[in-house]
Amino acid sequence: MSNIRLYVLAGIFVLPMVIIFGRLVTVQVLKHNFYADKASAQQSRQFEIPAKRGELYVEENGELYPVALNNSLKYVYADPQLIEDPKEAAATLAPILQSEEKDLEKKLTFTGKNRYVELKQQVDQDVAKKVAEAKIRGVVLRDRDYRAYPEGALFGHLTGYVNSDGRGQYGLEEYLNADLSGRNGQLKAVTDSQGVPLSTQDNIIEEPRNGSSYVLTVDRYIQGVAEKALKKALVDNKAASGSIIVMDPYTGAIKAMVNAPDYDPNNYASVKPEDYGSFINSAVSSQFEPGSGFKPLTMSIAIENDKVEANTSFNDSGEVVIGEYTINNADKKKFGQVDMSLVIKNSINTGMVYILKLMGGNPNEITKAGKEMLYAGIQKFGFGQKTGVELAGEAAGRVKDTKAADIDYANMTFGQGIATTSLQMISALAPIANGGTKVEPHVLAKKVLPNGDLEEIRKNITQERIMSEETADTVANMMIGVVEGGSGYLTRMPGYKIAGKTGTAQVPKANGQGYEENKNIGSFIGFAPVNDPKFIMLVRVDYPQTNTYAERSAVPAFAEVAKQLFSYYQVPPEGS
């Protein structure tokens, strides 16, 4: 055998071996990661382990009552292409799902495109069992987490709701969405040929982190009382909408927050498009001009800066001219010689403009210094900025800066030309009730820890003093006069000292040119008992038709709730 033949023979054996070896090196060494990943993708799958959404509670006598909790139900859907006889399927399903047979038949008929149609949401166990037993090809049951709101509309504006995508909308559900949602877990598991995970040591599991649960500051009883009073006020006044807020004047804890019209978060999907406005928590989201309810704040700024005292006198001629504009009192009344207490008691607009002039040091004209003092005071009360309450959609309001015209600042002294929210107003008035410290309004009291213990959310909060105790007392006494002998007379109660201030504000036109005719917003802010207030409350009634002044539109609702609160907080009348 010649050497060439030997080499050829060797080549025939060696060459394939070299090729095979080279291929092995490529597959196992050079492209190791690529093929390892490919194999892993074929043999294993990633499953999402959903986190449990956190729940919301209120606390009563140490017990927790849920106002938003989870409900694992099923939903039924169908793939019409797989339905053999839509008519028969509809006839079977209609009584089980309590749906119209014709509607179902229409949904179950394949049109060439509809491969997925939802037949029924929130199906309970019994119905799900019946659907499964019907064994209709193409009809499928799937699990889905829903949210239940046991208090319904009563807490609707506070809780908001969770939409079909699992996202919080409005209220706490939206504000706390990330925190309530938690984080889904992952299971990376080796699967069988059907894709079913096998229990092996190679499985990687990342546990889900459930969402946090919270306890609200809101009191169910007070919330219920406020809701009832507000609805009655709206009916009595033929009013379009309204709000009531009850707050602890020392801590800023919201005890009740109700709005009308409201909606039931359990049935949010049934709200018609023209009623979508009812989703909005108008106590924190709707801006309005507060009107005379603002006067105690202007007064407190002037007193705190030593510009006026309770007995500072003022001669009211019934009108004051600012440039080309004339400001009058309500009903063009003239009060003559009055002191500052009477300015508040009788809600004298011209008196407030006089105070603005005194702030600038010149009783005859409005100066830049006066405007700056008022602006700084208003800023301290928190107007023009969000309060930071834990509710979605809070409005900041609007305050004109000192470059604004004199007439704008003159109007601001009695609450016109300034945009606020009900929550800003009650928070601003709280220092007058509590002796001068600013409060941060809040609706969250405690966090529920994983072991079930409760943790206070607001610990070691230092409250900023924004006026002296003397100033607060002086203004509070002026506000008592409003109830004892002024426009708040309908809330007088024997044995109880109540301080308050009415506000009947005009409504600006949408185009910003002037005010609406025959439209106003009536409000009343008050606190009681004055020597140690248990609550501060704001009642707002929008566009009342039967009573055009707040003393008859908003005050009666305040009186009704206050009466219940004295009993609830066990506050006996003085001298009893």
Partner 1 sequence: MYPSTSRLVRNQNLTRVEARVQAGPISVSFMLIALVVLLSLLYLNQVSKSSTLNYRLSTLEAKRTTLQAEKEQLRIDAARLQSIAEARNSQVAQAMTPVQNVSYAQR
Q: Which residues bind partner 1 (CB under 8 A)?
A: 65-66, 69-73, 124-125, 148, 150-152, 154, 220-221, 223-224, 567, 572-573, 576
Three-class SS of residue 557? helix
Least distance from partner 1 to the Cβ atom of residue 154, Å: 6
- 22, 15 Cβ separation under 8 angstroms: no
* Angstrom distances, CA of residue 543 to CA of 96, 152, 554: 47, 26, 11
The residue among 152 and 318 lying less far from partner 1, judged by its C-beta, is 152
The residue among 124 and 516 lying less far from partner 1, judged by its C-beta, is 124
Least distance from partner 1 to the Cβ atom of residue 35, Å: 34
- 215, 59 Cβ separation under 8 angstroms: yes
The residue among 84 and 126 lying less far from partner 1, judged by its C-beta, is 126
The residue among 69 and 271 lying less far from partner 1, judged by its C-beta, is 69
- 156, 218 Cβ separation under 8 angstroms: no
The residue among 256 and 343 lying less far from partner 1, judged by its C-beta, is 256
Least distance from partner 1 to the Cβ atom of residue 551, Å: 25
The residue among 191 and 477 lying less far from partner 1, judged by its C-beta, is 191
Please state the three-class secondary structure of 461-493 as a single string.
Answer: CCCCECCCHHHHHHHHHHHHHHHHHCCCHHHCE
Cα–Cα distance measured from residue 306 to residue 443, given in angstroms and rounded to the nearest whole number? 36
Cα–Cα distance measured from residue 17 to residue 34, given in angstroms and rounded to the nearest whole number? 24
Cα–Cα distance measured from residue 522 to residue 543, given in angstroms and rounded to the nearest whole number? 8
Cα–Cα distance measured from residue 540 to residue 563, given in angstroms and rounded to the nearest whole number? 18
Q: Residues with Cβ < 8 Å from 35, sequence gap 6 or more?
A: 27
- Identify which of 549, 507, 543, 506 has the alpha carbon closest to the alpha carbon of residue 524: 549
Least distance from partner 1 to the Cβ atom of residue 64, Å: 10
The residue among 128 and 439 lying less far from partner 1, judged by its C-beta, is 128
Least distance from partner 1 to the Cβ atom of residue 565, Å: 14
The residue among 57 and 335 lying less far from partner 1, judged by its C-beta, is 57
Q: What are phi and psi of 222, to 5 degrees?
A: -65, -40
The residue among 148 and 310 lying less far from partner 1, judged by its C-beta, is 148
Least distance from partner 1 to the Cβ atom of residue 177, Å: 21
* Angstrom distances, CA of residue 471 to CA of 90, 445, 532, 573: 74, 30, 16, 26
Least distance from partner 1 to the Cβ atom of residue 153, Å: 8
Three-class SS of residue 446? strand
The residue among 155 and 335 lying less far from partner 1, judged by its C-beta, is 155
- Identify which of 152, 174, 176, 150 has the alpha carbon closest to the alpha carbon of residue 162: 174
* Angstrom distances, CA of residue 558 to CA of 421, 500, 521, 523: 18, 10, 15, 10
Least distance from partner 1 to the Cβ atom of residue 304, Å: 36
Least distance from partner 1 to the Cβ atom of residue 162, Å: 15
Least distance from partner 1 to the Cβ atom of residue 80, Å: 28
